[in-house]
Every structure is written in structure tokens, then in C-alpha cells.
Amino acid sequence: MSRIFSPGKLMLTSEYVAVDGALVLAIPTKLGQELFYTENENQKSLIFWEAYHQNQLWLKATIDYNNWKIIETNDFKASEFILKTLKNVQNLSEIKLKNDTSYHVKTNLQFPSDFGLGSSSTLMNNLAEWANIDPFILNEISLGGSGYDVAVAKEKSAVLYSRFPERVYETIDFQPNFKDELIFIHLNQKQDTREGISHYKSKPTSTELINDYSKLTKKIVNSQNLEEFSELMTIHEQKLSDFLATPTVKEKYFQDCPSFVKSLGAWGGDFVLASKFGDYQDYFKQRGFPKIFSWKDLIS
């Protein structure tokens, strides 16, 4: 059985503004999603799909890809999404989902689903690699979004990414010399990214904001020390707070925190970034956030 792997991601800069083309810094996580597959030329044109979450089976489906029918499943709604995505794969691919071949496909999401590390983008990239197609096109027609997460999954690297006026990105080695001073705290909930983007899009598009965030991202990448990095992260958070008319995560949960606290991705859920201070573990645990990770715990 062959294996494909795509890492998850964390978006360090330009959340929301990324959809309008602001430069994004995103980094890969150690955990991601695996895809295992076997193929059998048996003239049945079937897909046997099994999806695991941290090695626990949650979805099973048999799909006839000649007629695009779900023959058997334990979750019809989830299987409909898989069918739709695989139909897109078939339309894009010259080598997969052709007649006379059956496919056994098993996926395994390695991280908790509420971590927001890219369960969809890792799936899109794994399928694209399997079918030898463009993952950005598959993602666009199946899900939408800026595509920065697909770039991380595809390149298995930190990236600087922008989607407008055309998709441009470069891989970078982002390992700041102060990385061991950084911590990631999970906020115990999954935020609806589409809902957050909808709120952002309800505001007038600001070219100035897009340019400001692109400049901020470049400065953050080139930060030489934790003090400079912390200041830039604080500016990043406050500028977006002002634009969205939404309190920062620090104002909401951690007003007396001696470190910066920066939202990563959609505000209000998933992970935040901060730096270590004297009793940081007790501080976050006492406020109901016990899931604390160091850089080396989470980032590849």
C-alpha cells in the first residue's frame, strides 16, 4: 500500500487580509494527513474509501465512479463531499478514476479535528499528488479559500504566499533564533473560518491595509530578536482589531498577560501564539487553556 503525506499548517500573519492578496507567512506542522492507496484492475469502477481520525475509523464509503453513486456508507453527508471532490479529481486527472480500475483509499488525520491545522487542505494536496493534478485548482473548485494552506501542504515548508494579482509564493526556512521562546496555546474550540472571512469581507476593501500587512509580514520574517518580533505581532493584532471592530484575543482572555498574544488564523478559536514568561504554564492553565505546545512540539 503506497503512502502520501501532507503536513498541517499554522498561519502566522495576514489572517483574513490574505483573501485580498496580503502577503502571508505560514509554517508547516509535524502532524498532518496521510493517504494510503492500492489499485486493482477488476472492471468494477469502484472506490472503497475509509477515513480515519487519529487511527480511529469515522467514515466508510463505497462509490461507483462510473455513475457517481454512493453504494454504501455510514455517513451520507460526508460521503457526498468525498464524491464531489473525487468527481473533480476525475475531471482534472488523466490517469486516475478511469474505467476498469477499483481503488482502495485510506486517509488518516493525525491531529485533533478542532486544531484547525488543515484537514481539508491536506486532503486536497494528497489527492492531487495521487492523481498528478494541480492541488490549487482542485482546492479552488472543491472548497475555495486563499490557497496558502495548500502551498504549505504541497511544499512541506514554510511559505511566503500571496494570491493576487496572481498566485505567487516562495518557500523559506523560517526558524527564528528565538523560536524556543515561543509557545502555541489552543483555545479549546474550532473557529468557522468562512464566517470570519464573511465578517471581514463585509468591510470595504482597503488597499492600504493589504499593503500594511504585506510589509508587516516581511518585517516579521526578518525579526532579529524576540522583542522586535513581539512588537510586530502586537501591531499586527491591533491593526486588524481596529479594522474588524473586534476585541483582540488578549483583550478577551488574557488582559494581564505579560507576553504578546497573537491569533493564528480565524479569530476566536484554534491556536494563539505567545512567548514564555515566568509561570506561563500555570497562567494559561488557570484560565482554562491547558493545551500548550513549544515550537519543537508542534512545528516541523
pLDDT digits (tens, 9 = 90+) for 76-100: 999 999 999 999 999 999 999 987 8
Q: Which amino acid is at 214?
A: S
- Do 60 and 112 reside in the same domain of the chain? yes
- Do 9 and 155 reside in the same domain of the chain? yes
Q: How many whole angstroms separate alpha carbon 300 and alpha carbon 283? A: 26
Count of domains for the chain: 2
- Do 19 and 79 reside in the same domain of the chain? yes
Final residue in a domain of this structure, among 124, 148, 172: 172
Portion of the chain with pLDDT greater than 90, in percent: 85
What pLDDT does 188 receive?
Answer: 83
- Do 125 and 252 reside in the same domain of the chain? no
Is the pLDDT score of 191 beyond 60?
no
What pLDDT does 113 receive?
Answer: 87
- For 34, the 3-state DSSP assignment is strand
- Do 104 and 127 reside in the same domain of the chain? yes
* Preceding peptide of 247 cis, ω within 30°: no
Spatial CA neighbour of 292 closest among 190, 184, 187: 184
- Do 53 and 197 reside in the same domain of the chain? no
What pLDDT does 299 receive?
Answer: 97
Does residue 243 contact residue 14 with C-beta atoms inside 8 Å?
no
Q: The C-alpha cell of 281 is what?
A: 504554564
Q: Mean pLDDT, to the nearest integer, of 257-265?
A: 96
Window from 41-45, 184-188, 290-294 with minimum mean pLDDT: 41-45
What pLDDT does 206 receive?
Answer: 87
Final residue in a domain of this structure, among 155, 172, 189: 172
- Do 208 and 145 reside in the same domain of the chain? no
Q: How many whole angstroms separate alpha carbon 79 and alpha carbon 250? A: 39
Final residue in a domain of this structure, among 105, 137, 172: 172
Is the pLDDT score of 193 beyond 70?
no
**What length is written for the chain?**
300
What pLDDT does 194 receive?
Answer: 66
Give the pTM. Answer: 0.94
What pLDDT does 61 receive?
Answer: 98
What range defines the domain where residue 147 resides? 2-172
The CATH number of the domain where 119 resides is what?
3.30.230.10
Per the prediction, the chain carries an average pLDDT of 94
27-63 residue pLDDT tens: 999 999 999 999 998 778 999 999 999 999 999 999 9
Is the pLDDT score of 268 beyond 90?
no
Is the pLDDT score of 192 beyond 70?
no
Does residue 7 contact residue 28 with C-beta atoms inside 8 Å?
yes
Does residue 183 contact residue 275 with C-beta atoms inside 8 Å?
yes
Q: How many whole angstroms separate alpha carbon 121 and alpha carbon 89? A: 14
- Do 158 and 240 reside in the same domain of the chain? no
Confidence of residue 239 (pLDDT cuts 50, 70, 90): very high
115-134 residue pLDDT tens: 999 999 999 999 999 999 99
- Do 12 and 104 reside in the same domain of the chain? yes
Does residue 233 contact residue 273 with C-beta atoms inside 8 Å?
yes
Close Cβ partners of 185 (under 8 Å, ≥ 6 residues apart)? 261, 271, 272, 273, 274, 284, 289, 291, 292, 293
Confidence of residue 197 (pLDDT cuts 50, 70, 90): confident
- Do 33 and 138 reside in the same domain of the chain? yes
Confidence of residue 190 (pLDDT cuts 50, 70, 90): low
157-172 residue pLDDT tens: 999 999 988 999 999 9
- Do 122 and 219 reside in the same domain of the chain? no
The CATH number of the domain where 275 resides is what?
3.30.70.890
- Do 188 and 39 reside in the same domain of the chain? no
What pLDDT does 221 receive?
Answer: 98
Q: Mean pLDDT, to the nearest integer, of 132-146?
A: 95
